[in-house]
A and B are shown apart, each in its own frame.
Chain A
Amino acid sequence: MRLDVLGHVGSRQNSFTSVIATSFFAYVDNDRFSIGHGPGLFQAADNRRVRFGRGLRSDRANLLGS
């Protein structure tokens, strides 16, 4: 199930793929995708995008992501 998600994202051939895949690994490894958020739901999205965030006060407070 998890490999399906990674394979789906990794099929995009560009220089940013590795970053995206890394993000997925990090999130999956930390169980950030809860039960019920399976790959079928992700693949049905109309619009898949990459999000970047920057802490404005203390980077340390934001390192865990959102």
Chain B
Amino acid sequence: MSPPELEFRSAAPDDASRLVAAFDWLFEPPGSRPAQWDPLVAEERLRRASSSAAATVLLAEHTGELVGFCTVYLDIEPVRFGQRAWVEDLAVHPDHRSLGIGKALLDGAKQWARTRGAMHLELDSAFARTEAHRFYVREGPSWDAVCFGWLL
């Protein structure tokens, strides 16, 4: 069930500008701003995601104010597991946390992906985000694993 007084929708390309500002929620500790962060590049990427058939940006709004967002992509098709959906960004405004908005966005991402043929949905999260991990564990993941990344 959606939290009261909230509206959820897929972003339009014109939402990209204010979405970029909301990424600051992800950069707050224990997160950090990527060294290569460029707001103009980010805005263009958000425009592409919100106009692509293989991606969407889900928004949560409270009386018109952006209070949460989630980017989800159809990406690889693993031989063993079939089409994967990947949640890359999931963030809620600091003043609106613990109200079920994150869960509603994650559920929305699952539904979006399921209706587009995805077999599984995955995300990763930095080691330091222990509060987020507790949320993901409560959501009953089918598995967990450890990821490693290298900047190229």
Which residues of A are at the interface with B, using a C-beta cutoff of 8 A? 9, 12, 14-16, 19-20, 23-24, 27, 42, 44-57, 59, 61-66
- Give the top 7 A-B pairs by smallest Cβ distance, nearest first: A47-B149, A45-B148, A52-B141, A49-B147, A53-B122, A49-B124, A65-B143
How far does the alpha carbon of A52 sit from the alpha carbon of B26 in the complex, in Å? Answer: 18
Is B18 part of the contact surface with A, judged by Cβ < 8 Å? no
* A42 proximity list for chain B (CB < 8 A): 148
CA distance A63 to B80 in the complex (A): 12
Contact with A along B114-129 (1 / 0, CB 8 A): 1000111111111110
Chain A residue at smallest Cβ distance from B125: A50
B interface: dominant SS: mixed
B: interface residue count bin: 35 or more
Indicate if B37 sits at the interface (CB-CB under 8 A): no
**CA of A19 to CA of B125 in the docked complex: distance in angstroms?**
14
| Residues of B participating in the A interface, judged by any CB pair closer than 8 Å | 78, 80-81, 85, 110, 113-114, 118-128, 130, 133-134, 136-137, 139-151
Question: Which of A19, A27, A46, A59 has a CB less than 8 Å from the CB of B149?
Answer: A46
Tell me whether A52 and B125 are in contact in the complex, defined as CB-CB below 8 angstroms, given that A47-B151, A63-B142, A66-B143 are known contacts.
Answer: yes
CA gap between A24 and B144 in the complex, in Å? 10
- Known contacts: A48-B127, A49-B126. The answer to whether A56 contacts B144 by CB under 8 A is no
